[in-house]
Amino acid sequence: MITLEGLSKRYGDTPAVDALDLTVAPGRVTGFLGPNGAGKSTTMRMILGLDTPSAGAALVDGRPYAEWPVPLAKAGALLDAKALHPRRSARNHLVAMARSNGIGVSRVDEVLAIVGIDSVGRRRAGGFSLGMGQRLGIAGALLGDPEVLLFDEPVNGLDPDGVRWVRRLMRSLAAEGRTVFVSSHLMSEMQLTADQLVVIGRGRLIADAPIADVIAMSSRSTVHVRVPETAGLTALKDRLATEADRVDTQLDRLIVTGVPVERIGDLAHELGVRLHELRTNHASLEEAYMELTADSVQYGVAEAVA
């Protein structure tokens, strides 16, 4: 488990992370989202003791990461796939990590095979492609067979097969009861991978909820109601106007924002209105994310004009 208690980091007068309170629980994949400059990487670095908090605490299973006797056996991480000696072979890079933590060298060959680069383990890591470097970084995170795993943009540079492999790996690690905390800018991949989402902007917590709840926060999530009779359509629209954020009419259809589909069904029943269709049209995670972070983007650009 990862626990953040009022975690803050300032660089001069600029807050990078601002009083984050958060629990990342085991047994699920928690996605970590936010615009560039939101404080995601800084937060992960503080969890691993690489940056010192200005205030608050970051704890791994109840204590700072650096206090664990064998850190790699408690938490493994991929933060920067290029953080290695370029002239050292992939295998020797992992051997050095293993020996520094008292981990048997046999584990090195195991993780090289897990990530699919055992055949090139004796090649210099500096010559690896971005995708191969990502696989080596994931191998390093798995080296100590840890209970807690942190990944910062783990699918960068991977081909579609590699992206699918990472997705399955994350979910299998969570299914084993581990804590999996994954930062990414790929909304479509997070929608397929994560169970829980944490969204931050300008260093502050915006959302911490199951992925379905985050998507439901979007104003683009609507309920479509098809009513075959004009009188029933009008009656239901008038009734919904007192509860909904918005009700639009398209021929024999109402498009409702801000009222759950169950409530609309109940109202139609109370009014005796016959329905031919009642369904939720969910927003995508990308749409929900863009709404949530609209006021937190630091490096926005003007919309293109056709």
Per residue in 77-135, pLDDT tens? 999 888 888 899 999 999 999 999 999 999 999 999 999 999 999 999 889 998 899 99
Domain boundaries for CATH 3.30.70.980 within the chain:
222-281
Q: What CATH code is assigned to 222-281?
A: 3.30.70.980
239 or 85, greater pLDDT: 239
Enumerate the CATH 3.40.50.300 domain ranges in the chain, comma separated.
2-208
**Structure pTM?**
0.83
pLDDT digits (tens, 9 = 90+) for 196-215: 999 999 999 999 999 988 88
Q: Does domain 2-208 have CATH number 3.20.20.100?
A: no
Q: pLDDT band for 299, please (50, 70, 90 cuts).
A: low
Residue 173: the pLDDT is 97
Q: What pLDDT, on a 0 to 100 scale, did the predictor assign at position 305?
A: 44
Mean pLDDT, the chain, whole residue set: 92
Asked whether residue 219 carries a pLDDT value surpassing 60, the answer given is yes
Please report the DSSP string for the chain in residue order. -EEEEEEEEEETTEEEEEEEEEEE-TTEEEEEE--TTSSHHHHHHHHTTSS--SEEEEEETTB-GGGSSSHHHHEEEES-TT-S-TTSBHHHHHHHHHHHTT--THHHHHHHHHTT-GGGTTSBGGG--HHHHHHHHHHHHHTT--SEEEEESTTTT--HHHHHHHHHHHHHHHHTT-EEEEE-S-HHHHHHH-SEEEEEETTEEEEEEEHHHHHHTSTT-EEEEE-SSHHHHHHHHHHHTTT-SEEEEETTEEEEESS-HHHHHHHHHHHT---SEEEEEPPPHHHHHHHHTTTT-SS--PPP--
